[in-house]
Chain A
C-alpha cells in the first residue's frame, strides 16, 4: 500500500469491496400510461447486476428503454413491477446522501452559472464547502482549463458534455450513470471523449453504467456490455469484454475487437427486426 500512498484515497475502494453488488435490478417492468388509458411497456423483466467498481455499458436500438433502466437506477422513475436496489437500499437514498453522479443526454447545465460554478453545484446543493482543489482538478481532468469563467452558451457541445461529466464526478460518487453523454458529438470528438472517459475511469474506478447506441464506444469503455432488445426492452445478452486496458488504437484495430463489434452489431440489427 505504501507505494500507492500518493494516489487519491478512492482508488483503494474497488479493491476493498470488489465483490459487493452496487446495482441490482430484479425482474423490473416499466409500463407508462399514455393519454386515454393507452399503455406503453418500456421494459419487460429486466435483470441486471453491477458489481462495485465495474463499468457496464447498455446498448440497444433507440427507444428500447436503455435510458429507462438508468432512470430506475437514479431513482427518477420506479419500476411498475420488480425491484431496483442500489447498495442494498432504495435508489433515491443514494441521491439524498449525495453519492450519485449522473451525466444526462442533455447536459442540463445551469445557463446563468460559469463552468466552475456548474461543477461546484453538487457541493452547494449538498450543503458542503466547495473543495476548490478538487474542482480545479476536475476542470483539468476534462481539459477545460482556461474556461473556468465561461458560461455554457459560450462553449461547444463537446465542452458542455465534459462540464456535465465533471459535475457528475464532483462529489466522488459511489455510482456514476452516463446517459449517451456523447450522443450529440461528431465521430472524432466522440472518440477523443471516449479516451478521456476511459482515462478518468481508470483514475477514479467508480462503478459506472453507460447507456449508448454506439457499439465501439461500449467496447472501448466497458467490462461488460448488456445488449437490449427493442420495445419492450429486455436483456437479450450480456458480453464480457476482456481487452486489456488502456484500450488504445492497437486494441480497436485488432481482429478480436472487430469480431466482437460485428457480433454485437448483428444482435442489434436482429433487434430492429423484432421491434418493427
Chain B
C-alpha cells in the first residue's frame, strides 16, 4: 500500500531537484553570473534541436558509445580473467594488485602518446576506456572472490571439491553481486575514458567535439556535447544499477 506512494514521492523529489538545477543553470547563464563561458540552458537546448546540431551530436555520440562499449567489454573480460587467475594462483595476487594500481596511477595524458603510437588514434579511446574499466573491475572482482565465507570454504573442503569445481560452484556465483557492482561503477568510467581518449586526435566522437568547440568558442556546442556524454553516462549507470539489484536478490 505504502510502496507506490513512497516511490512516487521519490520520483517527484528527483524531478523537482532536476528542475531546480536546470532553472539555476538557466538563470546563471541568462544573467552572465559565471562569465560568457556559461550559456543559458535554453541556448544549448535550442542548438540541440536544430537539425544540424542534432545530427552532429547524434553521430558523435554513437562513435563515443561504440568506443566506450568496446572498452567496457575488453576491460571487464580481462579484469575478470585476471582476478580469477589471481584467485587460483594466489602467489601472483600481490604482483597483480600492484600492477593494476601502478597502471591506474599513470595519468591518461601520459599514456596518450604511447597509445597513439601503439594502437593508433582511432582505437586509443576504447583502450583508455578499457584501462579505467579494467582497474575498477579487477579491484571489485578480487575482493568479491576473497569474500567467500570460511564456512562455505570448509564445506567445499569436506565434500572433496577440486579447484575447478570450487571456482565454478562457490567462488564464481558468490562473486556475481560484486561483478555487477563493478559494472555499475565502470559504466560511467568507460564513457569518461572514451571521451578523454578522443581528445588525442580521434577522427570523431564527443571528445573531439568538445575540444574543437572549446577552440572555436562554440559554447552551446561544447555544453551540448558535455550534456550528451553526461546523459549517456547516467543511462548506463541506471541500467547497471538495476541489474545489480537483480543480482543481489538472486545471489545473496
Contacts and interface: CB of A to CB of B under 8 A. Distances in A.
Contacts of B170: 110
A133 interface: no
B173 A121 contact: no
Contacts of B156: 125
B11 interface: no
Interface in B139-176: 149, 151-152, 154-161, 165, 169-170, 173, 176
A244 interface: no
A122 B159 contact: yes
Contacts of B173: 110, 112
B159 A110 contact: no
Contacts of B158: 74-76, 95, 100, 102, 177
A121 B156 CA distance: 10
A221 to B, nearest CB: 21
A127 interface: yes
Contacts of A177: 158
A97 interface: yes
B209 to A, nearest CB: 44
Contacts of A112: 173, 176, 250-252
A170 to B, nearest CB: 9
Contacts of A75: 157-158
Contact of A104 (B154, B161, B176): B154
Nearest to A106: B151
Contact of B251 (A74, A111, A126, A127): A111
A271 B165 CA distance: 43
Nearest to A74: B158
A222 to B, nearest CB: 21
A155 interface: no
A98 interface: yes
Interface residues of A, number: 23
Interface string B232-243: 000000000000
A125 B165 contact: yes
A177 to B, nearest CB: 8
B94 to A, nearest CB: 21
B159 A126 contact: yes
A3 interface: no
Contact of B155 (A102, A111, A126, A127): A102
Contacts of A126: 159-160
A97 B154 contact: no
Interface string A90-123: 0010011110101010101011100000000110
Contact of B252 (A95, A111, A122): A111
Interface string A13-36: 000000000000000000000000
A104 B155 contact: yes
A104 B151 contact: yes
A236 interface: no
A104 B169 CA distance: 19
A125 B169 contact: yes
A258 interface: no
Interface string A117-159: 0000110111100000000000000000000000000000000
A95 B154 contact: no
A125 B160 contact: yes
A110 B152 contact: yes
B95 to A, nearest CB: 26
A84 B176 CA distance: 38
A202 B118 CA distance: 72
B169 A124 contact: yes
A76 B157 contact: yes
Contacts of B155: 102, 104, 108
Contacts of B165: 124-125, 127
Contacts of A96: 160
Contact of A125 (B159, B176, B252): B159
A122 B169 CA distance: 11
Contacts of A110: 152, 169-170, 173
7 contacts: A76-B157, A100-B159, A102-B155, A108-B152, A108-B155, A112-B252, A177-B158
Given A76-B158, A98-B159, A125-B156, 5 more contacts: A75-B158, A95-B160, A112-B250, A126-B160, A127-B165
